[in-house]
Amino acid sequence: MLQKDFLWGGATAANQCEGGYNKRGRGLALVDVVPAGKNRFPVAMGKLSYKDLPADSFYPGREAIEMYDHYLEDIRLFAKMGFKCYRFSMSWSRIFPNGDESTPCEEGLKFYDEIIDEMLKNGIEPVVTICHFDAPLGLIEKFGGWKSRQMIDRYLAYCEAIFTRFKNKVKYWITFNEINMILHLPFMGAGICFKEGENETLLKYQAAHYELVASAAATKLAHSINPDFMIGCMLAAGNYYPYSCDPDDVMDSILKDRENYFFIDVQSRGYYPSYALKFFEREGINLDMTVEDDKLLRENTVDYISFSYYSSRLTSANPEMQDKTAGNVFATLKNPHLKASEWGWQIDPVGLRITLNSIYDRYQKPMFIVENGLGAKDTVINKETGKELTPGTDEYKEALKAGLATVNDDYRIAYLKAHIQELMKAVEIDGVELLGYTPWGCIDLVSASTGEMSKRYGFIYVDKDDEGNGELARFPKKSFDWYKEVIASNGECTRE
């Protein structure tokens, strides 16, 4: 049985749901220049400068679902589900609009005071991601993002402002969202846009080092402000399976897993693993790494390890194996034993248990599943007649006003139920230490990978489409009441 204080909740990020990009003094941020459509990945990967985008580009993160103006309604819906916690991120440029100000923006701090106070009033524990694919655009233009060591001091100024302001309101913090994504989406993860002739591998690992140092320094700062703070790291997780029992395939899976664990090895153990040092040596990578950096990393390891899990991955040492499918940015070989979502993400509940055991065996620290879920296309129906409703039509709008719109998302319930069953096995049978579970996109939001609204994860539907049309009305899906029962029973109802 899960502990009585298990933190059931949900997760979002400012860059995908908050909106209000030009309100109350907020400055432009990284997300505000990442477009939807064919240019999204080239920009996110640092291959195409946002300055070279067409004038008619659509930036879905600027408005997102306008939680900025709807947070009271949204938090009350979370409370109705019985959330014990809610993971969200703060917008760095709402606190420091350009990133280099000497004092934080009071309007930005007040906004998060309002959100957190509403959460606490409803018995919801805040879990705050400090930097979730986010940075003030001013710092990217001034320093080139995390290419520069100067980002560390600006990040720490931001941390000091929020740690001090919310020291008696927030216990759980995450320094960087999915820090290993810096290797795959360098602009999204670190504000890096490559120039012709630059050593991209060197720049990615140098930026990663600066983020790792910043994380350690933030951990030190946090504990000096409030010793009871719990500071976590986060990775995009999911084990690589070997395609076969061929030893070369098995070794390849170990090497692929190391690419992800490298970051957490440093944040949890306090030093660079030997395999990483050997990799740097082979690749001729000489990082700007000081004695003070080493000391900071060694003395300020994280208190817990959080991660996202959507699917496992499959790899082979055989270069002829090319039958691939999509994943959480990571392309992977198709696993013949698994089904896949509409976006090609393979569905592997047992893989969550495997991942939990792999992480716990490696680090022996408390864990927190802070993202998990199924992105799917939802069909809105009239709950009384069962008739399908087309968004934007008069019939649809009338159903919204009458409270008759819903989504029968049994596919989402099945996905989440199977994963919850496996996390419970990991706790009860394997003995892993798990703090909580916050499914991703508990309310529909903009997809980070595609920029779409139609890739929906939520228990709560938001009336908005991929082109930005819609009235932003919210209503519960079938999964809303199901998850409410899961929380109320502390997961026990999933045993049925």
Report d(CA 79, CA 123) in Å as an integer.
8
DSSP letter at 353 equals H
| Dihedral pair phi/psi, residue 173, rounded to 5° | -130, 150
Q: Which two tokens stand for residue 462?
A: 């938001």
The verdict on whether 178 is a catalytic residue reads: yes
Closest CA to 391 of 461, 464, 455: 464
* Catalytic hit among 18, 211, 371, 452: 371
The verdict on whether 281 is a catalytic residue reads: no
Beta-strand (E) ranges in 85-194? 85-89, 125-131, 172-176
* Catalytic hit among 178, 211, 422, 452: 178
Report d(CA 120, CA 431) in Å as an integer.
31
Kindly tell me the burial class for residue 431, based on how many C-beta atoms sit within 10 Å of its own C-beta (0-12, 13-18, 19 or more): exposed
DSSP notation for 406-452: E---HHHHHHHHHHHHHHHHHHHTT---EEEE--BTSB----TTT--
DSSP notation for 248-305: HHHHHHHHHHHHHHHHHHHHHHSS--HHHHHHHHHHT------HHHHHHHHH---SEE
The set of catalytic residues is 178, 371
